[in-house]
Amino acid sequence: MNKVVVTGGIGYIGSHTVVSLIEKGITVVIVDNMINSNINTLDGIESITGVRPEFHDIDMTDGTLLHRFFDLHKDADAVIHFAALKAVGDSSQQPILYYRNNLFALINLIEGMQKHEISNLVFSSSATVYGTPDFLPITEDHPTKRGMSPYGNSKKIGEEIIEDTVNSAENFKAISLRYFNPIGAHPSYKIGESPNGVPNNLMPYVTQTAAGVRKELSIFGDDYNTPDGTAIRDYIHIVDLAEAHVKTVERLLEDQQKSNFEIFNLGTGQGKSVLEVIESFERMSGQKLPQKITDRRDGDVEQMYSSTERASNDLGWNSKLGLDEMTSSAWEWEKKNRKI
């Protein structure tokens, strides 16, 4: 049976991926310091899969602790590295915190893996590395740009660190996954997204507004050059995204790579506007969402959506779930989580 270490495994994307891995019969070991997550997520994972994965409360910026961890798990076949701080605005206020956390954790991880001869790494990257797109849909060959925030830049630098490592070591292989906008929750509604504090992202802000936790949703700009004037993104269901990680691990373990460092975009290929997301949410939930139009948010891109060609052809992965399934599952999770 294969064993996969999942860092950040009780976070939003990590927990859904852990479920998909366990359902494939893979043994999962989680490393997370709970800086942006809750230990109760393990109960959700156990209740869905019947398996409670081994959990280690480790701050990955502590290399000594991480090395000790790998001494126990040197038989791991691969690592999926989700652990990072991810709040874009916050990263501009506290750049060193973000660079320190995201880059020290990655460097310690790679050192630990190399010392213990674990050679397969999956990295959580982001479509933010493309900056303002030069063309649409965005392919993996689209140029990357200096991140518009320290957070985004930590992803770009992270990819470069990994690429240099792969180029320097014959037996180190990696796949970087550039996520577009993951939303939604597991259909059991036992795990989902529950950000700490005021949400930065659209979907949790929508569900929290509908739940009465926030007064109203601000729509950041309706004067974009798009059909309804609001900005367009490629929203991807979290369960589809989780499945893509299983395919990625299989590709590494079965030596199917074309090169030792590969990059895949993970999106649906469908751009949806903020108003389309709200329309879907209101229709699926039966809730009228208090909302107002405000100025554009600094640093926001007008539109971005992914080319799905490479993920479909090489990874054998295609998204299956649509926007209605995303908004309805996000709402069901919000209600269940808040006991509404």
Active-site residue list: 151
Residue 178 as a binder of ligand WQD (CB under 6 A): the answer is: no
| Binding pattern for the stretch 274-293 against ligand WQD, x by CB under 6 A and - elsewhere | x-------------------
- Going through the chain in order, the beta strands assigned E by DSSP cover 3-7, 27-31, 54-56, 78-81, 120-126, 173-179, 181-183, 217-220, 232-233, 235-237, 261-266, 272-273, 291-294
Residue 201 as a binder of ligand WQD (CB under 6 A): the answer is: yes
Indicate which of ligand NAD, ligand WQD, none lies near residue 83 (CB less than 5 to 8 Å, by partner kind). ligand NAD
Collapsed DSSP state (helix, strand, coil) of residue 303: strand
| Binding pattern for the stretch 202-241 against ligand WQD, x by CB under 6 A and - elsewhere | x--x-----------xxxx----------x-x--------
Indicate which of ligand NAD, ligand WQD, none lies near residue 2 (CB less than 5 to 8 Å, by partner kind). none
* Strand bridging mode 232-233 / 272-273: antiparallel
Distance of alpha carbon 102 from alpha carbon 61, whole angstroms: 8
Indicate which of ligand NAD, ligand WQD, none lies near residue 194 (CB less than 5 to 8 Å, by partner kind). none
Q: In terms of CB distance, is 30 or 225 closer to ligand NAD?
A: 30
Q: Can you state the percent helix, strand and coil of the chain, rounding each to 5?
A: 40, 15, 40
Residue 270 as a binder of ligand WQD (CB under 6 A): the answer is: no
Residue whose tokens read 């954790």:
105
Residue 99 as a binder of ligand WQD (CB under 6 A): the answer is: no
Distance of alpha carbon 145 from alpha carbon 132, whole angstroms: 8
Indicate which of ligand NAD, ligand WQD, none lies near residue 287 (CB less than 5 to 8 Å, by partner kind). none
The closest alpha carbon to 226, from 281, 148, 305, 152, belongs to 305
Which of these segments, 9-17, 73-81, 195-203, 263-271, binds ligand WQD (CB under 6 A)? Answer: 195-203
Q: In terms of CB distance, is 33 or 268 closer to ligand NAD?
A: 33
Q: In terms of CB distance, is 13 or 138 closer to ligand NAD?
A: 13
Cβ proximity of 81 and 124 under 8 Å? yes
The pair of structure tokens assigned to 65 is 């602790």
Distance of alpha carbon 275 from alpha carbon 20, whole angstroms: 31
Distance of alpha carbon 334 from alpha carbon 340, whole angstroms: 8
Q: In terms of CB distance, is 189 or 224 closer to ligand WQD?
A: 224
CB 33 to ligand NAD: min, Å: 4
CB 193 to ligand NAD: min, Å: 7
DSSP line for 141-167:
TSPP---SSHHHHHHHHHHHHHHHHHH
CB 224 to ligand WQD: min, Å: 8
Q: How many CB atoms lie within 10 A of CB 328?
A: 18
Residue 303 as a binder of ligand WQD (CB under 6 A): the answer is: no
CB 12 to ligand NAD: min, Å: 4
Residue 181 as a binder of ligand WQD (CB under 6 A): the answer is: yes
- Residue 67 φ then ψ, to 5°: -60, -40
Applying CB under 6 A, the residues found at the interface with ligand WQD are: 86, 88, 126, 128, 152, 181, 200-202, 205, 217-220, 231, 233, 274, 297, 300
